[in-house]
Amino acid sequence: MGIVPVVTPRAAARTGGKIRVLVVDDSVVIRHLIVRVLKDDPEIEVVGTEADGAAALARIPVLKPDLVTLDIEMPVMNGLDALREIRKRHPRLRTVMFSTLTTRGASATLEALSLGADDYVTKAANAGSLDQSLAALRCELIPKVKQFFQRAEPVAVRSTPPVFTAPAARPRHKIRVLAIAVSTGGPQALAELMPHLPADLPVPVLVVQHMPAMFTRFLAERLQSICPLQVAEAQEGMQLRPGHVILAQGDYHMTVRRSGSSVVASLNQGPPVSYCRPSADVMFRSVAEQFGGEVLSLVLTGMGSDGLDGTKVLKSLGAYCLAQDQPSSTVWGMPGAVVRAGLADQVLPLTEIASAIVRLVRG
């Protein structure tokens, strides 16, 4: 089943108050852990808990949450069916899915994202002690809840204000590779972008999507089913070819290296960079080493700032940079960081990016 692109609600500014969360999971233990982690944060309020999707749907109009956490596998009404109804009845309500690090969990998570889920959290199979379980859950869940809500609070004055550059009319160099960085909202964004890139695209495409191992294989397969290009999860020594997309493998950094007259993908499990593995910064720096300024980089929706440092290296060599605009981004963290640093040659809505890519790579 292919990914169906869904336009999800965008990050909303908050003028005050706490982020209201409804927790939905059939496991009493998991509900307790989630509630405990959320209640420890002063910016979050747990407004209720439910054990199945049907009960959650009945309570949403009463509790008026800002965000719902949904387990995928539940009795009465599972998380996918509940998500479908939430998108119909409450299209602006944020949803974070809970899934397992299994083949079945990965497939179901990709399905949830295609239905409009905003993000997901994976349940660790063996997290160790209670304290370790709480720490792991806190580290993953809290940032994913907060990423959607921009709070109107005073911020420290920057010593150097952001610089915005005027759009460059054309690249300084011939484009030989397209490098894409994406995170939160990425599967939906890629599902909307990739079908509009032609099979005869004259350059190879490298993609870093922040996802765990196993999940990236399913994402590559789903993109292949809807995309004219050839899409595959990265393997050591895979050759970069025009019209082929190589998606970084979960839990591995992806770089490129010379192999005879070819350039091939290479994988490693070096330390996380920008808190990520795979990291867009690692990939961007690597393509800069091999292709210099003959690179078109694209930073799509995502939390954090992975890709910023790598974009700085690429821009110093004369590469051309596209960034997704804020209204069309699920989270404007990664592209926003690039735009605020004055590194984006063009800032475009998602619907205009494919045509811009084709125009730029064909000169």
Which residues are the active-site residues? 183, 210, 306
Distances (CA, A) of 305 to 13, 226, 323, 356: 19, 29, 13, 23
